[in-house]
Structure 1
Amino acid sequence: MNTSCPVCGAAVLPAAAYCHQCGQALAAPRLLTEPAVEALASVSPDDAEQVLWEGSYSPKAMLGGWMGAAVLTVVVAAVGGRSDLQRGLFLGLLTAVLCFGATGLYAMYRRLSTHYRLTSQRFVHQQGLFRRTTDRIEVIDVDDVAYSQGLLQRMIGVGTIKIMSSDTSHAELYLEGIDRVAHVAQLIDDARRAERRRRGLFIESI
C-alpha cells in the first residue's frame, strides 16, 4: 500500500526514505543495524595482540659446522700422527679446541643477536648483540611466506623462512636457522590470513 508525501502529497512507497517528487525526507535512515554494531565492536582494530610464536637462531642449524669441525680434527690428528703419535694427538686436540670453540662462539653469537616474535597483528625482528635494532612488519602487509631446506636441514627440521611483504623497508626478510621451520612458516601465513579477514570484516561493518 502506498503512502503520500506530507509536503507535496505525491504517492510514495512505504519503504521509501525520500519523496521522488520533492526530495522530502520521509524517515530517518538507520546507519547500522544491531548485528552490524555488534560485529563492529567484536573486530575493533584495537583488539589486544596475542603472541603466537617467539624464537631465534637454532643451534641445530650449526650441525654442518660441528660435523666439519669433527672431520677436520680427525684428519689433522691422522696426518700428524703418521710420524709421531703424541704429536698427532696434540695437533688433533688443538684443532678440536679451535674448531669447536669457534663454531660454538659463532652459534652463540647468532642465537643471542637475533630474536623473532610473531603476534596476531605484527612480526617483530630484533637484530644485534651490543647495538640492537628492532623492526616491525604488520602481518596484514605480508604478501607471501616460503621456506627452504637443504638435505641435512630436512633431517633435523630447521631451515630458512622468506617473508615477502609490501613494507618498503623489508620487502624481503630472511629468517635463518629456524627450528620447526614448516610449522613456523605456517603460523606466519595463518596470522596473515586471519588479520586480513579481521580487517576486512571491520571495513565491511563500517
Structure 2
Amino acid sequence: MNCPSCQAEMPADALFCAKCGQRLNDSVPTGATGPAPTPMDRLKGRGAAPDEPETHLWAGGFSPKAMIGHWLLAALVTVAGIIAGVLFAIPTAGAIWLFVGLGSVALWGGLFLYYLYLRFGMSYELTSQRLVHKVGILSQSTNRIEVIDVDDVSYHQTFIERMLGVGTIKILSTDTSDPKLVIRGIDEVKRIANMIDNVRRDERRRRGMYIETV
C-alpha cells in the first residue's frame, strides 16, 4: 500500500504514514483480532522513519569542575584535623598526628580514585536517534537508549555547581536496561539537558507521535 500523499510504500495494516504522517485508513484490517495497536507500538515495530540519517550531536563525560566542591570539603577537613592536632598537643600527640596523617591520605586518595572512575570510566554520546552510555575502565559495558523511549529529562545543580555551570542530568525512560539514568558532572548541564529533551520531542514528532492515539 502506498501513501496517497507522498507515495511512500507502507505496510498493509498501517494507519498512518511513517514518512509524512498522513492517515491511511480509519479501521483495523479485516480479520484482525485483539485490540488495535497504538501508534507507539506500530512505530517502534517499524523502526526509524526512512530517509533520515542518524546525526551525531554531542559527546561528553564527567567534568573536572564537578569535583571542586569535593576538593574544597576535603581541604576543610584536613585543615580541621591539623588545627585539632595543634590544639590537643599532649604527650600522646604523636598518635594524634599519625591519625590525622593517615586520615588525610585516605581521604585524598579515595577522592582521587573516585575522580578517576567518574572521569575515565563513564562517557556519553547523543545522536538524533539514541543516547549511548558507556561504563568501565578496564572492561566496558555499552547501553543504548532510543530517544523515542525517553519520557522525562531533568537536571539538578548544587550552589557551587550553579556557579561552575555543571550539574547532574536525570533521564526517565521505558528502556529496560536504564529506566532511570543519572548522568553526573556534565558541563553546560542546562544546554545538554535541553538538547536531549529537544531531540526526544523532534524524534517523536518525526515519527508521527503527535497524531492522535488510536
User: TM-score scaled by structure 1?
Assistant: 0.69
The corresponding residue for 2:31 is: none
Asked whether 1:179 is paired with 2:187, we answer: yes
The corresponding residue for 1:51 is: 56
Q: Which amino acid aligns with 1:149?
A: Q
Residues 145-184 of structure 1: matches in 2 within 5 Å?
145-184=153-192
Deviation at 1:158, TM superposition (A): 1.7
CA contact (8 A) 1:50 1:120 kept: yes
CA distance in 2, matches of 1:79, 1:40: 70
* % identical aligned pairs: 46
The corresponding residue for 1:32 is: 4
CA distance in 2, matches of 1:81, 1:90: 13
CA contact (8 A) 2:19 2:50 kept: no
When Rg is computed on C-alpha atoms for both structures, the one with the higher figure is 1
Q: Deviations over 1:27-70 (max 9, x none)?
A: xxx8535xx248949x9535321111111112222122101111
Asked whether 1:197 is paired with 2:202, we answer: no
Q: Deviations over 1:4-23 (max 9, x none)?
A: xxxxxxxxxxxxxxxxxxxx
Asked whether 1:137 is paired with 2:137, we answer: no
Task: Give the match's secondary structure for 1:178.
Answer: strand
**Unpaired runs of 5+ in structure 1?**
1-29
CA contact (8 A) 1:45 1:199 kept: no
Q: Which amino acid aligns with 1:32?
A: P
Task: Give the match's secondary structure for 2:208.
Answer: helix
Q: Which amino acid aligns with 1:54?
A: A
CA distance in 2, matches of 1:31, 1:112: 49
Task: Give the match's secondary structure for 1:161.
Answer: strand
Task: Give the match's secondary structure for 1:169.
Answer: coil
CA distance in 1, matches of 2:3, 2:180: 42
CA distance in 2, matches of 1:170, 1:95: 36
Deviation at 1:78, TM superposition (A): 2.0
CA contact (8 A) 1:72 1:95 kept: no
CA distance in 1, matches of 2:128, 2:97: 55
Distance 1:93 1:160, change over 3 A: same
**Unpaired runs of 5+ in structure 2?**
9-17, 21-47
CA distance in 2, matches of 1:45, 1:123: 20
CA contact (8 A) 1:139 1:195 kept: yes
Out of 66, 77, 102, the residue aligned to residue 72 of structure 1 is: 77
Q: Deviations over 1:62-107 (max 9, x none)?
A: 12210111112212222223449xx899987776555334322211
- Cα-Cα RMSD: 3.2
- Equivalent residue pairs, number: 169
